[in-house]
């Protein structure tokens, strides 16, 4: 089998309002429908943020459990819950996300300015979250918004060992106002600093989506796409369904002769627990 590209879809996020972005999946029904479409188009992992009845971000434990169950019943996608939540979420709620029993969770390796806000990930919180992933056998995806986060990831692995599953997988989140820029030279610098043997995907926020996608493919990386990260296909052309972004990524990956990775291969690569 030739090389393939792991595609993660991040369909919702915590930042866009449904009123501003009507295509955003915010109900469980919308999320499951989106997940099925994106799986059919080549996604293997879904990075999940959920919303409440008023479409506001929530980390409600029972909603999270129901979401994991529904996604498992309807798709073969690897379910990755966000522990980042919204910038206003307390640490305790973010730690409790793991109790919903996902296959994976995000784990951001440091604090970062986030537009006019601050996305807080102090070292003691990172360590506590990491130790919980190890205890509960959840595979973390290390979210790296800045080069300093790569250094913090090395420190975490040096002090606390390998993640559950034994494999280190990272996601470079580029182009956040306050984080590392979404361009090819920054991507290469970040990739060169990653722990040896790790795999990585990259995503570019907003207008950096395409440059980051092409840079990642040319540097041998995997891809994350979705309306969490960008809500336009081009200037003045809104995304009307997440599947458009997955299809575009799958086309680019296929053109690069690294077509989408089937989810069974992704499970083997990431070392997720069979649940
Ligand atoms: N919503 C951001 C504050 C994650 O999912 O872990 C954080 C975020 C990262 O989206
Ligand atoms: Zn997220």
3-state SS track over 152-194:
HHHHHHHHHCCCCCCCCEEEEEECCECECCCCHHHHHHHHHHC
Domain ranges (residues) in the chain: 7-270
Contact 177, 171 (CB under 8 A): no
What's the pTM?
0.98
Summarize the confidence of residues 109-121 as an average pLDDT: 98
Predicted local confidence at residue 33, as pLDDT:
98
Question: Nearest residue CA, atom 6 of ligand 1?
Answer: 84
233 lines ligand 1 (CB under 6 A): no
Distance 156 CA to ligand 2 centre (A): 21
83 lines ligand 1 (CB under 6 A): yes
pLDDT for residue 1 is more than 70: no
**Closest atom of ligand 1 to CA, residue 106:** 6
14 lines ligand 1 (CB under 6 A): yes
CA 1 – CA 188 distance, rounded (Å): 26
Which of 49, 82, 87, 201 maximizes ligand 1 atoms within 8 Å of its Cβ, making it the mutation to test the pocket?
82
For tokens 């390998």, what's the residue?
162
Predicted local confidence at residue 45, as pLDDT:
98
Distance 249 CA to ligand 2 centre (A): 18
Contact 153, 197 (CB under 8 A): no
86 lines ligand 1 (CB under 6 A): yes
Class of residue 81 by CB neighbours under 10 A (exposed 0-12, middle 13-18, buried 19+): buried
Grade residue 30 by pLDDT with cuts at 50, 70 and 90: very high
Contact 232, 268 (CB under 8 A): no
pLDDT digits (tens, 9 = 90+) for 243-253: 999 999 999 99
**Closest atom of ligand 1 to CA, residue 15:** 1
Summarize the confidence of residues 99-110 as an average pLDDT: 98
Predicted local confidence at residue 2, as pLDDT:
76
Q: What is the architecture, at CATH level 2, of domain 7-270?
A: Alpha-Beta Barrel (3.20)
242 lines ligand 1 (CB under 6 A): no
Predicted local confidence at residue 275, as pLDDT:
79
Summarize the confidence of residues 150-161 as an average pLDDT: 98
Distances (CA, A) of 222 to 129, 135, 219: 24, 27, 9
Distance 107 CA to ligand 1 centre (A): 9
């Amino acid at each position: 089998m030739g090389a393939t590209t792991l595609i993660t879809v991040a369909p919702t996020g915590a930042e866009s309002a449904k009123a501003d972005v009507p295509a955003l999946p915010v109900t469980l029904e919308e999320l499951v429908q989106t997940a099925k479409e994106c799986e059919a188009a080549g996604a293997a992992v879904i990075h999940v943020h959920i919303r409440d009845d008023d479409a506001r971000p929530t980390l409600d434990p029972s909603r999270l459990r129901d979401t994991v169950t529904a996604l498992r019943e309807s798709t073969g996608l690897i379910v990755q819950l966000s522990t980042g939540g919204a910038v206003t979420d307390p640490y305790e709620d973010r730690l409790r996300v793991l109790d919903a029993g996902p296959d994976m969770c995000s784990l951001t390796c440091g604090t970062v300015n986030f537009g006019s806000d601050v996305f807080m990930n102090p070292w003691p919180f990172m360590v506590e979250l990491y130790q919980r992933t190890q205890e509960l056998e959840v595979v973390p995806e290390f979210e790296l918004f800045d080069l300093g986060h790569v250094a913090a990831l090395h420190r975490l692995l040096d002090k606390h060992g390998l993640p559950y599953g034994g494999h280190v997988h990272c996601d470079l989140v580029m182009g956040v106002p306050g984080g590392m820029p979404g361009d090819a030279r920054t991507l290469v610098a970040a990739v060169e600093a990653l722990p040896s043997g790790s795999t990585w995907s990259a995503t570019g926020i907003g207008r950096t989506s395409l440059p980051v996608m092409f840079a990642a493919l040319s540097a041998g990386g995997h891809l994350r796409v979705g309306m969490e990260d960008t809500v336009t296909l081009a200037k003045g052309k809104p995304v009307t369904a997440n599947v458009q972004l997955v299809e575009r990524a799958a086309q680019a990956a296929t053109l690069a002769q690294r077509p989408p990775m089937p989810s069974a291969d992704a499970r083997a690569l990431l070392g997720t627990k069979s649940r």
